[in-house]
Amino acid sequence: MKKLLLVICMLSVSSMCWAQAPSLGSAASFAILGSSTVTCTGASAITGDVGVSPGTAITGFNPDCTLTGTLHPGDGVAFQAHLDAELANFALSNLLALPCIQNFGPGDTPLAGLNLSPGVYCFASSASLNGTLNLTGAGPWIFRIGSTLITGGTVPAPASVLVNGQPNCNGLDVFWQVGSSATIGVNTQFVGNILAVQSIGLDPGAKLDGRALALGAAVTLSGSNTVSNVCGSGAGAGGGDRDDNHGCKIDNDDRDKDKDREKEKDKGR
C-alpha cells in the first residue's frame, strides 16, 4: 500500500504529495511580526508573540491591547523570526516544489462561494473575499497571490474563511503568500498565516486565526481585533501521518500490513 501511494505521488505532480507546507521556524511563536512598525489600537487581544525587525517601534500594547505572549521590539528573537519568515516565503514561492493545482488569471479574483480542497492556488494578480470561502479536507491549503489580498466590503454579511465548516484552523495549515499588501476588512473572520511582502492591516472588528507576518513594512490593527497564532506552522503541522519525503498521508494500519507482508515473503524464501 505504501509503495502504491508513493507511485501515485510521483505520477500526480500537481497533488499535495509534492506540496507540503514549509515550516515557519521560530516565526511560529509569533502572532504578529512586522518589519518597520507594529501598531495596535482599540482594545484588541493578541495570543502569541509580537515583534518587529529591523524596526523597533511597537505601539498600543498594555493596556490598550492585551497580549498573551512577549513583545520583541527589534531584538535578536525578532531578527531570527524575520529570517525564518523570509525563508518560508521563499519556499512558498518555489514553483517546482509547490506546483499550482489551479491558476487564476490577471485581474481581481473573487474567492467568495468557492469550495477548495487542499492544494496550491495561484493568482496572477489580486484576490478578494466578499463572502464565505470554504476549505475542506486535512490541508494544507496554500494561496500564492501576485499582488493584493482584500476582504470585506460589498455584502451585508462579513467576509469569512471556514475550515471544514469552522471559522478557525483547528491546527491545520493555511498559508497566504501575498505579493504586496493584505487588508483584512471590517468584521472579517479570517483564517491562515499571512506572509505579505509589504504590509498587513486589520480593519475594525477583524479576527485572524493565524499569523500576520509583514516582511517589508508595517502591521496595523485598527481596533477590536483578535489574533491568535493557533493555525498550523507548516512542515506537516496539519496533523495526520505523512511520508517524510512527500507529505502523503499514510495510515498506520497500512504500514503494519506492509511489514507483515514483507515478513511472510521472507519466510517463504
Judged against a pLDDT cut of 80, whether residue 258 lies above it is answered with: no
Question: What one-character DSSP code corresponds to residue 20?
Answer: P
pLDDT the model gives residue 42: 81
- For 12-27, what is the mean pLDDT? 68
Single out the residue of 234, 107, 108 nearest to residue 169, CA to CA: 234
Q: Residue 97 pLDDT more than 80? A: no
pLDDT at 153: 65
Q: What is the mean pLDDT of residues 21-30?
A: 96
Question: Amino acid identity of 48?
Answer: G
Average pLDDT in the 244-255 region? 36
Q: State yes or no: pLDDT of 71 exceeds 50.
A: yes
- Render pLDDT for 109-144 as a digit per residue (tens, 0 to 9): 999 999 999 999 999 999 999 999 999 999 999 999
pLDDT confidence of residue 76 = 98
Mean pLDDT of 79-89: 98
253 confidence band (pLDDT: 50, 70, 90): very low
In the structure, what pLDDT confidence band is assigned to residue 94 with cuts at 50, 70 and 90? confident
Q: Is 73 left (phi over 0), alpha (psi -120 to 50) or beta?
A: beta
Rounded-to-integer distance, Cα 249 and Cα 269, Å: 31
pTM, whole model, 2 decimals?
0.82
Residue 98: closest CA among 27, 23, 16, 179? 16
Chain centroid, CA 2 distance in Å: 28
Among 9-13, 80-84, 125-129, 199-203, the range scoring the smallest mean pLDDT is 9-13
Rounded Cα gap, residues 28 and 234, in angstroms: 9
Alpha helices (H) along the chain: 2-11, 76-92, 252-268
Query: What's the mean pLDDT in 199-214?
Result: 97
What's the pLDDT score for residue 248?
38
Mean pLDDT rounded to a whole number for the chain: 84
156-193 residue pLDDT tens: 678 999 999 999 999 999 999 999 999 999 999 999 99
